[in-house]
Amino acid sequence: MLTTPKDGRLAGRVVLVTGAGQGVGRGVALALAREGAHVAAAGRTLAKCEAVVAEIEQIEGTAFAFACDVADPSQIRAVVAATAAHFGGLDALVNNAQSSVQRLLADTTPEDVDLAWRSGPVATLNAMQAALPLLRERGSGVIVNFGSSAAIDGNVTFGSYAMAKEAIRGLSRVAAREWGRYGIRVNVVVPNALSPAAEQYRDAEPERFQKMERSLPLGRVGDPENDIGRAVAALVGDDLGYLTGNTLMLTGGA
């Protein structure tokens, strides 16, 4: 049974979530809020983030929406500063936002790579650097970054995306070693969840989608809030306080 913000294990902690307007980001934001965290919901489309904030307020949680294109370093710095100003600090950063184009390697363009790179590992690094002074102040900061099973498995047409996601995992391991002395933990989540793209695939190719689900040991695609968001909340909380530099595979056993 889900807890409420009043008795949540993250009560009073401030967490910034990028790409919070839909899919996994929305699920993470809701799960964090249910555990009592004050959530800064950031995304390119402010209206989507505001809708998530409205959902959080309906469950008596606390959240605020910010417009932010993570591919723009100045916007990342601004949203980190605005989060700290609004809530009085920052305890955790969840780097979920990522843009990419699917294309066969032979057809992949420099623009494809640049998009995935700027919105992925470069944006993640920029957000981590901006958040570092605030997390050091807390003495127990948390960073959760996102990888991808498409990168680990080498899925066809995911070349530029795979490059970006595996770079994020390498960056996270280095940060865990360098920043552990400040009490900052850095981990990566690899999700298999019903994102908007997965929903489109399910609706367009129902038989293939069902076949894919049956191939998973747990027999289903993960729920963005209950399966992915609650795991992120555990990483942000104290129960996994000795875990850093690791990749958590939330893929239903795939």
CATH code, domain with 176: 3.40.50.720
Q: Which pLDDT band, with edges at 50, 70 and 90, does 4 fall under?
A: low
In a domain, 99, yes or no: yes
Give percent of the chain above pLDDT 90: 94
Q: Which pLDDT band, with edges at 50, 70 and 90, does 1 fall under?
A: very low
Q: Which of 161, 182, 201, 242 is catalytic?
A: 161
> Pairing relation of β-strands 38-43 and 185-191?
unpaired
Q: Which pLDDT band, with edges at 50, 70 and 90, does 7 fall under?
A: confident
Q: What pLDDT was estimated at residue 198? A: 86
Report the pLDDT averaged over residues 233-242.
97
What's this model's pTM, rounded to 2 decimal places? 0.95
The boundaries of the domain holding residue 62 are: 5-190+229-250
Q: Are 97 and 25 in contact (CB under 8 A)?
A: yes
Report the pLDDT averaged over residues 34-39.
98
Q: Are 135 and 182 in contact (CB under 8 A)?
A: yes
What pLDDT, in 10s, does the model give residues 127-171?
A: 999 999 999 999 999 999 999 999 999 999 999 999 999 999 999
In a domain, 195, yes or no: no
Report the pLDDT averaged over residues 238-242.
96
In a domain, 203, yes or no: no
In a domain, 201, yes or no: no
Token pair recorded at residue 2: 């889900």
* The one-letter amino acid at 145: N
Report the pLDDT averaged over residues 93-103.
96
In a domain, 213, yes or no: no
Active site residue 161: yes
CA distance 16 to 243: 20
In a domain, 90, yes or no: yes
In a domain, 173, yes or no: yes
Token pair recorded at residue 133: 């002074």
Domain count for the chain, please give it. Answer: 1
Q: Which pLDDT band, with edges at 50, 70 and 90, does 196 fall under?
A: confident
In a domain, 159, yes or no: yes
What pLDDT, in 10s, does the model give residues 81-92?
A: 999 999 999 999
